Structure 1
Amino acid sequence: MTIEAAAVPNDELDRHVDEEIKHCLDPQAPRSFFLFAGAGSGKTRSLVGALDYLRDTAGARLRVRGQKVAVVTYTKAARDEIIRRTQFDPIIAVSTIHSFAWTLIEGFNHDIREWLRVSLKADIEDLQAKEAKGRAGTKASAERIADIASKTRRLARLDTTKTFVYSPDGDNRGRDSLNHAEVLHLAGDFLKSKPVLRHILRDGYPYILVDESQDTNRHIVEALFTFQAAHKDEVVVGLFGDMMQRIYGDGQPGLGENLPDDWATPTKRLNFRCPRRVIELINKIRESTDQQTQIPRSAAIDGHVRMFVLPSEGIDKVAAEKAICAHMAAITADQEWLDEDAVKVLILEHRMAALRMGFDDLLAALYPVTQFRTSLLDGALPAVNFFSNLILPLWDAKDDKFGTARIMRAASPLLSPSALKHAPDQFEQLARAQAAVDALIALLDGNPSVTFGEILHNVAKTGLFPIPDTLNVALAAAAAEAGDAEDEQERSDRDKAIAEFLAIPFLQVRAYAKYVSGKARFDTHQGVKGLEFPRVMVVMDDHEARGFLFKYEKLFGGGADDGQTASTRRLLYVTCSRAERSLALVAYAANPARIGDQLLTTGWLKPEEVSIGLP
């Protein structure tokens, strides 16, 4: 069906999809399913509709049996929205992926302990083998030795750790704490390897519905497939998603392909959000991937799409984008384009936002390390959170005695109940804590260019806050003598990235914190997935991004997708599909004319929609 074919009222076009999902939820014939739901298709509405159906038809049965419907979301915002739309019904257990994983393994303390014992021993043996082959006295050696010592201490504490704890929303700094990655890995491994855990999950949650399944951690997704295969006649696992909107790298590759034969695959075709012209564009963007296409509502407006290709250097980009907004206001007859707050500016790549906001060195140091990437963008990387969640708030509270005391009581070992209880003189202990605060504030106030590393050494000297393991390893390396090129090759990517990060000015953390909390003017695909805006400007700039994972120029050039091009295609799809009325695409290029020609060759845009230079 083409867009032109949608001439009669079609708002109920996908009603059969919701009916198919209801049939899958039949307790007499349960059937797991993967719902394909492209941008603006009403995925959340279908999810909530399925939950309402279960509340009406199975609510009484579930309550009698003490069972619940598990709903797994990717973000806290999505969790809260679904809880609200299901009227806070207690039989609907909505949680983020980390919370869900923790509910699976919490209390399995012996099994967690033994899993950690095996994991830590393997890590230590690997590090010892590398240390035996490496050279002593180098930074690489110091980092390995510190890492071995840290893991050995944790291994020794396992038998005295009776209960493991975890907070999905916290930094998990305690000695008995698990980190985010460990919880996901543990839950996946346990669910696949322990029949008793699968039975507990089956008996407690006969329905498990996963939102944004394309970005759900692969350990959990693989485990859910194992769980469903073992209990296919007793449970329903429902995956809601769209691989074209996959953002994170730790999801299950190829999800939705080669599904088990007993799974249903309902597909939504209608796009309720976008105007006709935007839907034509996003269909073109994705046509080389999975051939999925959408059609607009019969009442959808035509809308506007324009592409502006500008030189990447020698131009005032802020002024250029303001001029483009004025042009969009004229061609759309929508004066809201002149209001900065009424236009959603989306940056295709994080490095571009970081450069414009002033934390580009921080991102450049840490983002290339795969194990850091997701938690860095989620605002959950302990090495950075040490500064953004402790140091920065303490500095901001320097003139607020109560605020300072609140932070210190919550996080400083100098004012822990144990420290105060065992201190020979409590007043002296309080004075020591105040001196540590004063030393830090003096360092921050007196040196605007102070680095993360200088702050770290200050805190380590005073004992103001407990220091994350990765930063302790960096402290050990800093104490070692500078090495040569061979020494640098021996150092892990993680350790080199942390060392680079610590040499960066601390003030960049404020802009970073603003960005990951969603308070910046600029936003990216992560922050807006699932959201919609009347007026959208998408800004692309390979020069600002420094070729940082995404390559829009290569995408426009055609040809087969490699990893970078496929990522760029997905991100362009997500950002363009936020537009409800009009869309402006702004691309900065070394050769604007060539990019313009390539764009017309792709057939994505019409000649009158492409402007080379400012309008």
Structure 2
Amino acid sequence: MKMSKKDDLFDSKADEVIAKCVTDVPPTSFFLFAGAGSGKTRSLVECLEVIRDKSGPKFSLNGRRVGVITFTNKACDEIRSRLKYDELFEVSTIHSFAWSLIKSLNHDIKGWLEENLKKEIAELEEKERKGRAGTQASKDRINAITSKRERIANLGQVRKFIYNPDGDNPERNALNHAEVIKITASFLTERPLMQSLLVNRFPILLIDESQDTSRELIEAFFLVQSKLKDRFVLGIIGDMMQRIYTAGKMDLGTNLPEDWETPAKRMNHRSCHRIIKLVNRIRKPVDGQEQRPRSDKGEGYVRFFILPADIEDKPAQEHECCRLMAEVEGDDGWLDPGTNVKTLTLEHRMAARRLGFLDMWDALKDVNRLKTGLRDGSLPGLRFFSHLILPLIKANEKKDSFALTSIVRKNSPLLEKDTLISCKSGQKCQVESAKAAVDSLVELWKDGKSPTFMQVLDSVYQTGLFRIPGVLIPFAKPAEEGAEESQEEDKRDNLVAWRKFLETQFDQIERYSQYVQGEARYDTHQGVKGLEFPRVCVVMDDSESGGFTFSYEQLFGAKQSKTKPKPGKETSIDRTRRLFYVTCSRAEESLALVAYTEDPEAVKKHVLDEGWFKEHEVVVISRNAA
């Protein structure tokens, strides 16, 4: 289909406005409304190219850069690539950017931490004084007070603080994610010197996905802009309807200073007409903002499937919904959902159940210090299996001796240069030892056997084939009886979780690895910000998700909220409506919505009354039919 030039230029006025904002003297700050599929990344990159052309040499001469904050590392990589990795631009996530501002201020960080910890202890002590002794809540408060006092006592030994924006930061001298944000916001708000430091380094700061950026930091940036507006441009890009995390600033985009520009991008370049009609209808009660579809896009397809919450074999039901989509559209792509359909679940555990790595997920998911690394696959104990053992086993299965040998040569201490030089029995003998170690490992899969992670770990440790990550060493070496119980509580929980993980089957690691790398059929509703797919299947099931943050049953009229809405506070329905909007707007061509409910008829009536769907687009699948 021929692309429409008119559609391409539909929002060009907005691009002209923001380009003028960042190049005017004095500059003008702005809030750019950019709805789903509106091409905001393209607009951002074009704006940055204008800055490079007009101000690049001057900035470079004065040692200044343009700050660009976006939500994910993947988005950072995309923007850097489009800018050809120009060092004029500092493109980073909010945590990385915040850390870059404060990481050299060790003395100030220490002072802030001590004061904040004392304040938190005082609050906990007051709650303990008012609360009931002997309860689990009381025990948790006492443990937290003890932990915070120990941390204060250890601050004197810290010479330099460390922080990993992409990890869990368990070290004693490490800051956690929340602390980095709070410290940076506090310094920017209260210290004029810090404000000047920000503006001198980054006279222009553009924030993408601003609706989910930390409220504390957004407000701090607004404060700096109000004080130094002639020297500092703050460009905010976002769409409040796509705010899906609670840490964002709820009223962002409203009550802006009068001298700010507020351009808008209203063309949706992503989705077909029927999908845009749906998301416009979902959004209407919130702010009335409407997007326009491209004239060269087709009509597209939407179906809303309603199933009983207690129906058996839900993955099979979802597969049947995909089959019905293929039948309706005449699109065989739906017949292979594992390859051609992106299926969105409300939380990771739902995906783990459907993909077949639930046991290993459940073993680790409840330990706070492991949660981030479990979700993104960065835990060293997991990477040992996913990035070292799994590739070796796959190479062996494929009889790819070159790949297998390469893995061993690169990673095995048995074949390191120093080991080979010092080997008294000769290098040939050492190579044979490495081969024997590999043979011993792959033997675990002989005759269709399926080993546990523990069996794999034990084999590697016994032969010395690879170095064992520190977190797994307690399970590789023989330990005294009750060693786990003798550890501090947080370490004990950590060890118990890892032991449970190691007792599960190794064959889960491949499916887990595909999932965290975004290569699996499934993703979460929250994990697809900024992404798009030709065919999308959204699975909505409150009974499986757990928690109270979202409720599709309430949004779809099957249940009433048990709590009375508080003035100025958002409700579960508000949050779920936004999440529903985000998931629906990921689809380019066709969209299947699968809702499990305790009251199918009430849901059908509600979605028709809301005008979201037409009668023929709603399909009720009964228990008997299934």
Residue of structure 1 equivalent to 2:325: 328
Residue of structure 2 equivalent to 1:210: 207
Q: What's the CA shift string for 1:392-451, capped at 9, x where partnerless? A: 889979999989988xxxxxxxxxxxxxxxxxxxxxxxxxxxxxxxxx9479879xxxxx
CA distance in 1 between partners of 2:512 and 2:617 (Å): 35
CA distance in 2 between partners of 1:603 and 1:364 (Å): 40
Q: Check whether the contact 2:271–2:588 (CA below 8 A) recurs between aligned residues.
A: yes
Q: 80, 83, 94: which one pairs with 1:83?
A: 80
Classify the secondary structure of the residue corresponding to 2:8: coil
CA distance in 1 between partners of 2:358 and 2:288 (Å): 37
How far the C-alpha of 1:159 sits from its partner, in A, is 2.9
Q: What's the CA shift string for 1:187-228, capped at 9, x where partnerless? A: 111111111111111111111001111111122111111111
Q: Check whether the contact 1:397–1:403 (CA below 8 A) recurs between aligned residues.
A: no
CA distance in 1 between partners of 2:591 and 2:224 (Å): 43
Residue of structure 2 equivalent to 1:34: 31
Alignment of 1:67-216 (within 5 A): 67-127=64-124, 147-216=144-213
CA distance in 1 between partners of 2:159 and 2:265 (Å): 49
Alignment of 1:417-566 (within 5 A): 441=454, 472-474=488-490, 507=504, 515-546=515-546, 548-557=548-557, 563-566=571-574
CA distance in 2 between partners of 1:129 and 1:405 (Å): 55
Q: Check whether the contact 1:395–1:441 (CA below 8 A) recurs between aligned residues.
A: no
The reply on whether 1:591 has 2:607 as its aligned counterpart is no
Amino acid in the other structure paired with 1:579:
A
Q: Check whether the contact 1:351–1:548 (CA below 8 A) recurs between aligned residues.
A: no
CA distance in 1 between partners of 2:165 and 2:301 (Å): 42
Residue of structure 2 equivalent to 1:352: 350
Amino acid in the other structure paired with 2:594:
V
Q: Which moved more, 1:171-180 or 1:51-60?
A: 171-180
Instruction: Give aligned-pair identity as a percent.
Output: 46
CA distance in 2 between partners of 1:148 and 1:360 (Å): 34
Classify the secondary structure of the residue corresponding to 2:184: helix
Q: Give TM-score, length-normalised by structure 1.
A: 0.77
How far the C-alpha of 1:461 sits from its partner, in A, is 10
How far the C-alpha of 1:576 sits from its partner, in A, is 1.0
The reply on whether 1:574 has 2:582 as its aligned counterpart is yes
CA distance in 1 between partners of 2:553 and 2:278 (Å): 17
CA distance in 1 between partners of 2:476 and 2:137 (Å): 23
Alignment of 1:176-325 (within 5 A): 176-325=173-322
Q: 340, 343, 347: which one pairs with 2:341?
A: 343
How far the C-alpha of 1:141 sits from its partner, in A, is 6.9
Amino acid in the other structure paired with 2:345:
I
Between 1 and 2, higher relative CO (CA 8 Å, sep ≥ 6) is seen in 1
Residue of structure 1 equivalent to 2:438: none
How far the C-alpha of 1:515 sits from its partner, in A, is 4.2
CA distance in 1 between partners of 2:5 and 2:385 (Å): 60
Q: What's the CA shift string for 1:291-341, capped at 9, x where partnerless? A: 111011111211111122122323433333233222222322222222220
How far the C-alpha of 1:548 sits from its partner, in A, is 4.7
Change (3 A) 1:377 1:570: farther
Q: Check whether the contact 2:364–2:371 (CA below 8 A) recurs between aligned residues.
A: no
**What RMSD in Å do the two structures reach over aligned CA positions?**
4.1
Amino acid in the other structure paired with 1:604:
W
Q: Check whether the contact 1:379–1:513 (CA below 8 A) recurs between aligned residues.
A: no
Q: Which moved more, 1:54-63 or 1:162-171?
A: 162-171
Residue of structure 2 equivalent to 1:415: none
Q: Give TM-score, length-normalised by structure 2.
A: 0.75
How far the C-alpha of 1:526 sits from its partner, in A, is 2.7
Q: Check whether the contact 2:345–2:539 (CA below 8 A) recurs between aligned residues.
A: yes
CA distance in 2 between partners of 1:76 and 1:512 (Å): 20
Classify the secondary structure of the residue corresponding to 1:250: coil
Q: What's the CA shift string for 1:536-573, capped at 9, x where partnerless? A: 11122223224653222321229998622122111111
Q: Which moved more, 1:198-207 or 1:315-324?
A: 315-324
Amino acid in the other structure paired with 1:208:
L
Change (3 A) 1:123 1:597: closer
CA distance in 2 between partners of 1:137 and 1:557 (Å): 41
Classify the secondary structure of the residue corresponding to 1:160: coil
Classify the secondary structure of the residue corresponding to 2:23: coil
Classify the secondary structure of the residue corresponding to 2:156: helix
Classify the secondary structure of the residue corresponding to 1:252: coil
CA distance in 2 between partners of 1:29 and 1:315 (Å): 64
How far the C-alpha of 1:154 sits from its partner, in A, is 2.9
Change (3 A) 1:136 1:25: closer
Classify the secondary structure of the residue corresponding to 1:184: helix
Q: Check whether the contact 2:168–2:373 (CA below 8 A) recurs between aligned residues.
A: no
How far the C-alpha of 1:186 sits from its partner, in A, is 0.8
How far the C-alpha of 1:261 sits from its partner, in A, is 1.9
How far the C-alpha of 1:34 sits from its partner, in A, is 1.0
Q: Check whether the contact 1:9–1:297 (CA below 8 A) recurs between aligned residues.
A: no
CA distance in 1 between partners of 2:264 and 2:554 (Å): 31
Alignment of 1:44-59 (within 5 A): 44-59=41-56
How far the C-alpha of 1:583 sits from its partner, in A, is 1.2
CA distance in 2 between partners of 1:537 and 1:160 (Å): 53
Residue of structure 1 equivalent to 2:425: none
Change (3 A) 1:398 1:152: farther
Change (3 A) 1:120 1:285: same
Q: Check whether the contact 1:24–1:31 (CA below 8 A) recurs between aligned residues.
A: yes
Residue of structure 2 equivalent to 1:432: none
Q: Which moved more, 1:354-363 or 1:326-335?
A: 354-363
Amino acid in the other structure paired with 2:228:
H
Q: Which moved more, 1:342-351 or 1:198-207?
A: 342-351
Amino acid in the other structure paired with 1:574:
V
CA distance in 2 between partners of 1:530 and 1:389 (Å): 27
Q: Check whether the contact 1:192–1:227 (CA below 8 A) recurs between aligned residues.
A: yes
Q: What's the CA shift string for 1:153-172, capped at 9, x where partnerless? A: 43233233222222223333
Q: Which moved more, 1:129-138 or 1:563-572?
A: 129-138
Q: 592, 612, 625: which one pairs with 1:604?
A: 612
Change (3 A) 1:502 1:38: same
Q: Check whether the contact 1:275–1:296 (CA below 8 A) recurs between aligned residues.
A: yes
Q: Check whether the contact 2:23–2:54 (CA below 8 A) recurs between aligned residues.
A: no
Q: Which moved more, 1:544-553 or 1:207-216?
A: 544-553
Classify the secondary structure of the residue corresponding to 1:174: coil
Amino acid in the other structure paired with 1:260:
P
How far the C-alpha of 1:535 sits from its partner, in A, is 1.2
Which structure 2 residue ranges, 5 or more long, are not aligned? Answer: 394-406, 414-452, 460-470
Q: Check whether the contact 2:32–2:264 (CA below 8 A) recurs between aligned residues.
A: yes
Q: What's the CA shift string for 1:363-401, capped at 9, x where partnerless? A: 8999999x9999588549xxx958646798899799999
